[in-house]
Structure 1
Amino acid sequence: MTRALDSLKGLFYKPRPLGAAVVALWMSVASAEVVSGAQLPDGSQKVGENRYRAPGDFEKTLEYYKAVYPASAFPRRAIVNQPGVKAVHIINPSGKNFEGVNIYQANDEVRIYVVPLQAAPVQSKPVKKPADSKSGKKSR
């Protein structure tokens, strides 16, 4: 009697498509560039300080960021309400390395702006006023 483990059924195993998709997504995320702690899609081109041109369209870029920064952990909000312009801000709740990422589309181009941390305002020491004399007399 042959047992099920001794059969040749294991040779014809087909991996599930979801597993292949997860591996492909992981590979695309793993090769991404990191700027100030924020990930950028592979193929992004620098166009200015903390500004990058995304390789895909707006929807494709948003899908990338949904995989990298899930909405449950990284809140999003629309930042522009104008015809022809789409923009989303992704908040970095940890506050480490960067405040957030702006993704926007204007003039048929998708750009990414990594919002740097705001430097904490330096608190200056208050200037001491000259002490008045204790006798209350004014000096001449």
Structure 2
Amino acid sequence: MTRPLDSLRPHFYKARPLGAVLLALWATASGAELVNGAQIPDGAQKVGENRYRASRDFEATLDYYKNVYPTSSYPRRSIVNQPGVKAVHISNPSGKNFEGLNIYEANEEVRIYVVPLQGAAKPAKKNEGKPVRKTK
């Protein structure tokens, strides 16, 4: 009678896929910057308010965001797909901190824009220079 190597159980070891996914998420998320609650990939450079230049190409940036924000929970839609320009919008269904992310490629450069909440937009400037004229 033979039995499996050093095991009292007849079942062989099965890898747990959830552990591999969590490890991959941890590896991609480590050291990432948060902007208004949205995660920005490592190596991205700030180029303006809520705007970043990605250090990766367009497809690699989208793959990064597939791991960080799964497509099942964060819907995506193509904004533009013209020669030389690609753009994808990732919606934030929770509506907390940011509305979504725009990832676009133009002029061989990949940019990320964190779309702020509508209520978080800067207030309009008031006309302080002109006096208000009352009518009778």
- How does the TM-score come out when normalised to structure 2? 0.72
Q: Which runs of 5+ in 2 are unaligned?
A: 7-14, 124-136
Matched with 1:64 is 64
- In structure 2, relative to structure 1, the CA distance for the partners of 1:41 and 1:120 (3 Å cut) is closer
Provide the C-alpha distance between the structure 2 equivalents of 1:109 and 1:24, rounded to a whole number of angstroms.
26
Q: Which amino acid aligns with 1:88?
A: V
In 1, distance between residues paired with 2:51 and 2:30?
A: 21
Distance 2:21 2:92 in 1: 26
Q: Read off the aligned partner of 2:58 and give its amino acid letter.
A: F
Alignment of 1:28-47 (within 5 A): 28-47=28-47
Q: What residue number does 1:49 align with?
A: 49
How many residue pairs get matched? 117
CA distance in 1, matches of 2:24, 2:82: 35
Give the gaps of 5 or more residues in structure 1.
8-15, 123-140
Q: Tell me the C-alpha RMSD between the 2 structures.
A: 3.1
Q: Which runs of structure 2 are paired with 1:1-140 in the superposition (5 Å)?
A: 7=6, 23-119=23-119
Instruction: Tell me the TM-score normalised to structure 1 length.
Output: 0.70
Q: Which has the higher strand share?
A: 2
Q: Select the structure of larger CA radius of gyration.
A: 1
Q: What is the CA distance between 1:96 and its match in structure 2?
A: 0.4
Change (3 A) 1:105 1:26: same
